[in-house]
């Protein structure tokens, strides 16, 4: 089955700086890659996603890039703010129409004021 690796496990950045989280996946059949943000005690919330026919997608301060050849995708957060502090999970979906998600191990992002 699909395996998703995520790095780093923890990340601390100064407020206003950029943060980058990277994920790799194992199965070239995966075609959908969402990113979720989970604040302490809360449910995971989708923040951005990308499909395999697109190389990059941006939504204000958040962007995701996908390299299908290398089988990795990354989350970029610019101009970080204290409210960006949370755990971020990447995921991959291998079955078109099945929607089963395989999650990465998570990155705890801390923004230092």
Partner 1 sequence: SAVISQKPSRDICQRGTSLTIQCQVDSQVTMMFWYRQQPGQSLTLIATANQGSEATYESGFVIDKFPISRPNLTFSTLTVSNMSPEDSSIYLCSAVRGGGGGETQYFGPGTRLLVL
Of the pair 21, 34, the CB lying nearest partner 1 is at 34
Position 40 contacts partner 1 (CB under 8 A): no
Cα–Cα distance, 33 to 16 (Å, whole number): 26
When binding is defined by CB under 8 A, the residue of 46, 55, 59, 82 that contacts partner 1 is 46
Tokens of 112: 């230092």
Cα–Cα distance, 15 to 105 (Å, whole number): 24
Cα–Cα distance, 50 to 109 (Å, whole number): 21
Contact code string over 74-103 relative to partner 1, x by CB under 8 A? ---------------x---x--xxxxxxxx
Q: To the nearest whole angstrom, how small is the minimum distance from the Cβ of residue 100 to partner 1?
A: 6
Position 106 contacts partner 1 (CB under 8 A): yes
Q: Which stretch binds partner 1 (CB under 8 A): 13-21, 34-42, 61-69, 74-82?
A: 34-42
Cα–Cα distance, 81 to 16 (Å, whole number): 6
Q: Which long-range contacts (CB under 8 A, 24 or more apart) does 58-63 make?
A: none
- Provide DSSP, 48-65: EEEETT-SEEEETTEEEE
Of the pair 97, 113, the CB lying nearest partner 1 is at 97
Binding site for partner 1 (CB under 8 A): 1, 31-32, 34, 36, 42-46, 49, 51, 89, 93, 96-106
């Amino acid at each position: 089955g699909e395996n998703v690796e995520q790095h780093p496990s923890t990340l601390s950045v100064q407020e206003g700086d950029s943060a980058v989280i990277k994920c790799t996946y194992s199965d070239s059949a995966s075609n959908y890659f969402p990113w979720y943000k989970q604040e302490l005690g809360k449910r995971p919330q989708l923040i951005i996603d990308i499909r395999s026919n697109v190389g990059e997608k941006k939504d204000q301060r958040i962007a995701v890039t996908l390299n299908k050849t290398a089988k990795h995708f990354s989350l970029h957060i610019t101009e970080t703010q204290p409210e960006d502090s949370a755990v971020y999970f990447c995921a991959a979906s291998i079955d078109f129409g099945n929607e089963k998600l395989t999650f990465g191990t998570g990155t705890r992002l801390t923004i230092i004021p």
